[in-house]
């Protein structure tokens, strides 16, 4: 009798089944079932996410996955956003583009975050990937409008070009002219980061006019208010729109044109931009407000009562970004009007001021937590907090997935009891069982870390600054947080003990960043010796580590797991503590 097993499924059927498996985790799980599944899976995987571009080499990726159509790469550590990573650290995309150019001629999507992208890279992209449909450069730098011109000229199938938060060298505004007249496929364009000379408005108008599928358009600050109406009238099908400068002298013709243009955008659901916004022109968007699910006013210096009045007209809001001009009173209105709110971000209008310039306290956040049952994601900058408020917030919102609280004075205590804020944050991790991301601030002892280690079992990313008293704190986190992937720490008194005791944990995480802590050079070298699959990178602008004592604390430490070994593109101020380094000096 012939033995038939599940493994005799024809490959085509397995491949077809796999085509329904989209998540990386599931694909990875399928690939380790057996050798034949591994083979079949790797040939039909189309999408790759590389959370750390140095964790694996492009050659390795290409060897395993021969036919990728979509790639996402991330480069610099998150703290690079706050100027903690010096220029020249790394994150260059060119080696990836060069290798992929030959291997993936059918590549359709490239998404990059915090990477250095040069014009040369963009030109190579334009030349090599004729089928490119999506190019997202999120917080990238190193390129100019020349690189963009190359993309515009060659990528006939481009649907999405998103430069969000990138730093672009302005050379000329004419790169938009490089989109040929026959090009009509644009669906999403985000040029909000571009400077003054970077966009030729007439080219933009023509481009918008000939792309009937354009759904998302985020303009840069320099586009004046009186040009918006014309632009919108060419694209009434927009779903998401970002204005330029939202200020001008009040003129009735401009006003009425704008109002009419917005009114005609029947599908508009998301608004942003509003740089320098003046209250006079706010009412032109009232016709859209009831439909808005996302509103980003975080660049608008609008204050109450205009700000609150606007917010009260948007009952469908799911996502709200705003400056602290909204104040507690405005947040109370938000809480009573916007029952679908899922995400709230409140940014400080005067982060370096000594005294509060607005009346935004913990009360605003408590109000929103109480009034908005679907609230899941919070980023809140304020100047005072209490444990009681945090406990209330935690009890109101057990569904939090992301909670980031930034008290502007980094070591400030509970303003009512003068106690540390341990209990408050402890309540957050205890009640919010699905919490994936947490940022701490305020006066915090080792206690809060004990709570985190005990309760935050789904936590994937933790950001800590000016907190804790001893290594025990770090030990609690590393030993308790089972799902931890990214840990970033600045200015905390954490040294060698916790790190060395939990060295194995580091291989289960994507990365660990520690700056201005007390980790010694000797500990870094030891980790480098003991853990070959970790890259231990020490950053110090004062000079090479070999000139200092073993017990000296390192300035910045970045540890990440990698199967690619140490990298070779490091600048003079980064040293990798691998086995060679350690033995050279001993």
Partner 1 sequence: MAFEKDLNLDATELRLGLPGTSDESAKNQTPATLRSNNKRALPEESMSSNATASKNCDQETAPLPKAQVVGWPPIRSYRKNNLQPKKSEGEISGIYVKVSMDGAPYLRKIDLKVFKGYPELLKALEDMFKFKAGEYSEREGYNGSEFVPTYEDKDGDWMLVGDVPWEMFTNSCKKLRIMKGSEARGLGCVV
Residues that bind partner 1 (CB under 8 A): 79, 81-84, 86-88, 142, 165, 193, 275, 298-299, 301, 347-355, 381, 406, 408, 410-411, 439, 463, 465-466, 490-491, 515-516, 569, 571-572
Per-residue burial over 44-83, b if 16 or more Cβ lie within 10 Å, else e, is bbbbbebbbbbbbbbeebbebbeebebbbbbbbbbbbeee
**How many angstroms separate the Cα of 156 from the Cα of each of 178, 180, 191, 360, 456?**
11, 8, 19, 49, 47
Q: Helices 119-128 and 145-154 meet at what angle, rounded to 10?
A: 0
Greatest distance between any 2 Cα atoms in the chain: 89
Residue 337's SS3 state is: helix
CB of 215 to partner 1, least distance (A): 25
Closest-CA residue to 450 (of 477, 414, 424): 477
CB of 251 to partner 1, least distance (A): 24
Give the CA count within 13 Å in the CB-facing half-sphere of 479.
15
Whether 333 contacts 310, CB under 8 Å? no
Closer residue to partner 1 in complex, CB, 177/515: 515
CB of 379 to partner 1, least distance (A): 10
Closest-CA residue to 282 (of 324, 315, 247, 244): 247
CB of 88 to partner 1, least distance (A): 3
Closer residue to partner 1 in complex, CB, 274/560: 274
Closer residue to partner 1 in complex, CB, 139/318: 139
Closest-CA residue to 425 (of 405, 398, 401): 405
CB of 74 to partner 1, least distance (A): 16
CB of 382 to partner 1, least distance (A): 11
Closer residue to partner 1 in complex, CB, 57/463: 463
Residue 431: Cβ within 10 Å count = 18
Closer residue to partner 1 in complex, CB, 254/413: 413
What token pair was written down for 422? 């341990």
CB of 143 to partner 1, least distance (A): 12
CB of 301 to partner 1, least distance (A): 6
In order, the DSSP letters of 511-567 are EEEEESS--BHHHHHHHHHH-TTEEEEEE-TT--GGGS-TTSBPSEEEEEE-SS-S-
For the chain, helix, strand, coil in percent to 5 are 40, 20, 45
Residue 6: Cβ within 10 Å count = 8
Closer residue to partner 1 in complex, CB, 365/423: 365
Closer residue to partner 1 in complex, CB, 193/536: 193
Closer residue to partner 1 in complex, CB, 341/407: 407
In order, the DSSP letters of 212-246 are TT--EEE--TTS-GGGHHHHHHH-TT-SEEE-SB-
Closer residue to partner 1 in complex, CB, 166/318: 166
- Report the alpha-carbon distance of residue 584 to residue 300 in Å, rounded: 56
Q: What is the CA radius of gyration of the chain?
A: 26
CB of 441 to partner 1, least distance (A): 8
- Report the alpha-carbon distance of residue 238 to residue 396 in Å, rounded: 36
Closer residue to partner 1 in complex, CB, 212/571: 571
CB of 552 to partner 1, least distance (A): 14
- Report the alpha-carbon distance of residue 131 to residue 158 in Å, rounded: 8
Closest-CA residue to 152 (of 112, 194, 122, 120): 122
Q: Helices 11-18 and 35-44 meet at what angle, rounded to 10?
A: 60
CB of 503 to partner 1, least distance (A): 26
Closer residue to partner 1 in complex, CB, 90/315: 90
Closest-CA residue to 190 (of 155, 154, 163): 163
What token pair was written down for 536? 């231990």
Closer residue to partner 1 in complex, CB, 275/400: 275
Cα dihedral 419, 422, 423, 427 in deg (nearest 10): 150
Closer residue to partner 1 in complex, CB, 293/463: 463
Closer residue to partner 1 in complex, CB, 233/304: 304
CB of 221 to partner 1, least distance (A): 9
Task: Indicate the pairing of strand 402-407 with strand 270-272.
Answer: unpaired
């Amino acid at each position: 009798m012939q033995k038939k097993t599940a493994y005799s499924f024809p490959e085509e059927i397995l491949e077809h089944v796999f085509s329904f498996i989209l998540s990386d985790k599931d694909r990875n799980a399928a690939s380790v079932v057996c050798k034949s599944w591994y083979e079949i899976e790797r040939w039909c995987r189309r999408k790759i996410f590389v959370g750390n571009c140095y964790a694996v080499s492009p050659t390795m990726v290409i060897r395993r996955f021969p036919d990728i159509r979509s790639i996402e790469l991330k480069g610099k550590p998150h703290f690079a956003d706050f100027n903690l990573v010096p220029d020249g650290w790394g994150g260059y995309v060119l080696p990836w583009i060069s290798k992929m150019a030959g291997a993936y001629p059918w590549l359709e999507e490239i998404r990059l975050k915090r990477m250095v992208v040069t014009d040369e890279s963009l030109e190579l992209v334009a030349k090599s990937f004729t089928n490119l449909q999506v190019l997202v450069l999120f917080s990238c730098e190193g390129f100019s409008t020349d690189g963009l011109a190359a993309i515009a000229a060659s990528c006939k199938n481009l649907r999405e070009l998103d430069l969000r938060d990138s730093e672009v060298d302005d050379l000329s505004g004419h790169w938009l002219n490089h989109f040929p007249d026959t090009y009509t496929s644009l669906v999403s364009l985000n040029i909000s980061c571009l400077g003054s000379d970077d966009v030729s408005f007439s080219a933009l108008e023509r481009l918008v006019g000939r792309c009937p599928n354009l759904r998302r358009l985020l303009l840069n600050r320099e586009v004046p208010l009186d040009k918006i109406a014309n632009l919108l009238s060419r694209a009434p099908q927009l779903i998401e729109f970002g204005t330029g400068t939202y200020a001008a002298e009040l003129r009735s013709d401009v006003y009425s044109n704008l109002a009419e243009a917005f009114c005609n955008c029947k599908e508009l659901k998301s608004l942003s931009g509003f740089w320098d916004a003046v209250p006079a022109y706010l009412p032109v968007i009232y016709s859209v407000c009831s439909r808005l699910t996302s509103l980003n006013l975080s660049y608008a210096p609008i204050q109450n009562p205009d700000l609150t009045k606007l917010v009260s007209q948007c009952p469908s809001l799911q996502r709200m970004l705003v400056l602290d001009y909204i104040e507690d009173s405005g947040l109370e209105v938000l809480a009573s009007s916007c029952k679908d709110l899922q995400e709230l971000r409140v940014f400080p209008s005067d982060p370096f001021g000594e005294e509060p310039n607005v009346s935004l306290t913990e009360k605003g956040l408590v109000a929103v937590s109480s009034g908005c049952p679907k609230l899941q994601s919070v980023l809140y900058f304020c100047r005072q907090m209490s444990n009681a408020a945090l406990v209330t917030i935690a009890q109101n919102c057990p569904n939090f997935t992301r909670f980031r609280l930034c008290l502007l004075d980094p070591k400030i205590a509970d303003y009512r009891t003068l106690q540390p804020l341990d209990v408050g944050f402890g309540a957050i991790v205890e009640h919010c069982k699905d919490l994936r991301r947490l940022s701490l601030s305020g006066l915090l002892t080792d206690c809060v870390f004990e709570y985190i280690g005990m309760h935050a079992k789904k936590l994937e990313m933790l950001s800590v600054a000016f907190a804790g008293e001893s290594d025990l704190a770090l030990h609690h986190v590393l030993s308790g947080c089972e799902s931890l992937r990214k840990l970033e720490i600045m200015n905390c008194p954490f040294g060698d003990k916790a790190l060395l005791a939990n060295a194995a944990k580091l291989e289960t995480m994507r990365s660990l960043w520690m700056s201005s802590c007390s980790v010694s050079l000797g500990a870094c070298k030891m980790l480098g010796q003991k853990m070959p699959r970790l890259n231990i990178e020490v950053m110090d602008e004062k000079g090479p580590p070999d000139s200092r004592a073993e017990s000296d604390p390192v300035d910045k430490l970045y540890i990440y797991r990698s199967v690619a070994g140490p990298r070779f593109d490091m600048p003079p101020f980064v040293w990798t503590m691998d086995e060679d380094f350690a033995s050279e000096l001993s």
